[in-house]
Structure 1
Amino acid sequence: MLDVRRLRLLRELAHRGTIAAVAEALSFSPSAVSQQLSVLEREAGVPLLERAGRRVVLTPAAQNLVRHAEAVLERLERADAELAAVRTGLAGPVRIGSYPSATRAIAPAALAALAREHPALEARVTDVDPAGVPAALRAGELDLALVHEYDFVPSEPQPGLTGQELFTEPMYLAARTPSSLADHRTSPWIMAPPGTLCRAMTVRACQATGFTPHVRHEVDDFATVLALVALGQGVALVPHLGIAASPPSLTLTRLPISRRTRTVHRAGADDHPAVATVTAALRMAVPPELR
């Protein structure tokens, strides 16, 4: 019989790529992960891993096994949800991942409603970059998360995860005078650091207009970005949730670009009472203009 815990390790290796990454994410030593995968290989009776230089890669048999592991883990999530549904009341921790502007604009109202209606439920919010959410959910570090995607940076399907749309918000060009993207071919730009979705969206939006932006400042906080724009340090693209603290001296021009936010959780947890309750609270906390 194949061990579910070892199947989870194989699934993590398929997503993370290296034994070292799996070990770090799950708080194991690399040797322990290797040992458990070797045991799984003996249980399976066929080779699951093969060397490719200094790395290991999954064999076709292992890739098929990962697909079965995803289905098994989803069924276990459904079983956990059914057990939770017959318990009396909601209690205990539920871990919520969020991105900063949603944490500021949506989380407080949702947390207040949850504390009022389900005082024994301990909702915990952690800021997590959307790129890190899938790994955190699969590793059990989060139960639910808010993630976003942009028109120019669509999200990729993530095996083992599911969710639902929450809201869509417009994007704005922040500048000192009314203008369009094409007006800022030679302007300095203020962007989020490399590797973020916001940075990729801004670069691709400019490239779609016919130019590559010149980046002067790299800032991952919309309030600071807007303050710098107001000082004449550059221009920027900012989503609706990021304009609450916009200085009166700058102009916000709405663009035909959107940012979409959705909730994400492990497949099979749709009907888990805590997940469903938190999702409902987050939906009710969305600003009226975005519903």
Structure 2
Amino acid sequence: MFELRRLRLLHELSLRGTLSAVAEALSYSPSTISQQLAQLEREAGVALLVPDGRRVRLTEHGAALAEHAADALDADERIRAGLERLQPGIAPVRVAVLQTAARTVVPAALTLLSQRAPELRVALSEVPPEEGLFELSARGFDLAIAEQYPGLTRAHRPDLERHVLGADPMRLAAPRGELAGAPLRSLAGHAWVMEPAGTAARDWAVQQCRAAGFEPDVRFELADLGAHVALIAAGHAVGMLPDLLWTGQPVPVALGALPGEPVREIFTASRRASGERPGIRLVREAIAEAFAAARP
């Protein structure tokens, strides 16, 4: 019989690509990962890994067993979901959240959960949506709150299901005063603040500027949207910010319309195998209610 823990290590290797990445994600040493995978090879009776430079790669048998490992892990989750229906709250719900949701939606959702399921433990980590969705697939989280931008949709993973929360308008943000209400094209010569390169938010914002006929001078790269607001309010930059950021807060910058009045879509995602776990369902529903109640 294959041990589920070793099957998970093989599945993680198929996702992450290196033994060191698996070790870091699961808090094991690389030598422990190697030993466990060597034992799995003995159990399988075939070679699962072969050297590839300084790394290893899956053999044909290894890739096939990694697919079966994913099925076994899904079955394990469905079994645990069945047990949780008999005793709700026995397992924590680990949630990956994007920054704007962490600042606005999540506190209200936790208040709802404290009333409806006080025994349920919810663990939160603020991570970029790109990382959150990957780690959700890799079983590092149980639920993720993510976004996608018009014309820049995220890939659909077959193991994940989405529930759309709603639309969040994106607006041009500039210092109050002479730039208030300025069209996008007129801001070509100004310093811009945007999220780090490689994020969907950055790629989308750059494309908006290019569509308006200029390449933005991205002088400030910051993941913290609160820092975006501070720089813009102080007159050092212009940017593009979502309405959700202003829920329950004063707006210290001038907001203007972007061409086409674009909105980003906010959604939750969970693994299909565990999406109906009572705890995950409760958290998902509370997040949906909190988002619906949020108003800039």
* TM-score normalised over the length of structure 2: 0.87
**Secondary structure at the residue paired with 1:286?**
helix
CA offset at residue 196 of structure 1?
Answer: 3.0
CA offset at residue 139 of structure 1?
Answer: 5.3
Equivalent residues in 2 for 1:150-229, closer than 5 Å: 150-158=149-157, 160-175=159-174, 176-229=179-232
- Match for residue 60 of structure 2? 60
Residues 134 and 50 of structure 1: CA distance in aligned 2, closer, same or farther (over 3 Å) = farther
Amino acid at match of 1:100: Q
CA offset at residue 280 of structure 1?
Answer: 0.7
Equivalent residues in 2 for 1:2-81, closer than 5 Å: 2-81=2-81
CA offset at residue 254 of structure 1?
Answer: 4.3
Contact 1:9-1:33 at 8 Å conserved across structures: yes
How many residue pairs get aligned? The number is 289
Deviations 1:18-71 (A, max 9, x none): 100101111111111112112222322332222221121222332222222222
Amino acid at match of 1:220: A
- Match for residue 251 of structure 1? 255
CA offset at residue 228 of structure 1?
Answer: 2.1
CA offset at residue 253 of structure 1?
Answer: 1.7
Contact 1:138-1:160 at 8 Å conserved across structures: yes
User: How much is the aligned-residue C-alpha RMSD, in angstroms?
Assistant: 2.3
| Structure 2 Cα separation of the partners of residues 61 and 207 of structure 1 | 47
* TM-score normalised over the length of structure 1: 0.89
Deviations 1:92-120 (A, max 9, x none): 53222212210111111111111011111
- Match for residue 132 of structure 2? 133
Contact 2:14-2:58 at 8 Å conserved across structures: yes
Deviations 1:55-93 (A, max 9, x none): 212223322222222222112211111111122x43553
Residues 141 and 235 of structure 1: CA distance in aligned 2, closer, same or farther (over 3 Å) = same
- Match for residue 284 of structure 1? 289
Structure 2: gaps of 5 or more residues: none
Contact 2:89-2:121 at 8 Å conserved across structures: no
Amino acid at match of 1:148: E
| Structure 2 Cα separation of the partners of residues 289 and 118 of structure 1 | 21
| Structure 2 Cα separation of the partners of residues 71 and 91 of structure 1 | 23
Residues 258 and 153 of structure 1: CA distance in aligned 2, closer, same or farther (over 3 Å) = same
| Structure 2 Cα separation of the partners of residues 91 and 55 of structure 1 | 39
Contact 2:183-2:258 at 8 Å conserved across structures: no
| Structure 1 Cα separation of the partners of residues 232 and 258 of structure 2 | 16
Residues 135 and 68 of structure 1: CA distance in aligned 2, closer, same or farther (over 3 Å) = same
CA offset at residue 8 of structure 1?
Answer: 0.9
**Secondary structure at the residue paired with 1:194?**
coil
Contact 1:174-1:250 at 8 Å conserved across structures: yes
| Structure 2 Cα separation of the partners of residues 209 and 252 of structure 1 | 15
Amino acid at match of 2:60: P
**Secondary structure at the residue paired with 1:261?**
strand
Which deviates more, 169-178 or 104-113? 169-178
| Structure 1 Cα separation of the partners of residues 219 and 123 of structure 2 | 36
| Structure 1 Cα separation of the partners of residues 294 and 134 of structure 2 | 32
| Structure 1 Cα separation of the partners of residues 28 and 136 of structure 2 | 17
Contact 1:223-1:246 at 8 Å conserved across structures: no
Deviations 1:218-239 (A, max 9, x none): 2323233233223332211111
Question: What is the identity percentage for the equivalent residue pairs of Structure 1 and Structure 2?
Answer: 38
Residues 164 and 60 of structure 1: CA distance in aligned 2, closer, same or farther (over 3 Å) = farther
**Secondary structure at the residue paired with 1:47?**
coil
CA offset at residue 138 of structure 1?
Answer: 4.9
**Secondary structure at the residue paired with 2:204?**
helix
| Structure 2 Cα separation of the partners of residues 270 and 247 of structure 1 | 37
| Structure 2 Cα separation of the partners of residues 170 and 86 of structure 1 | 41
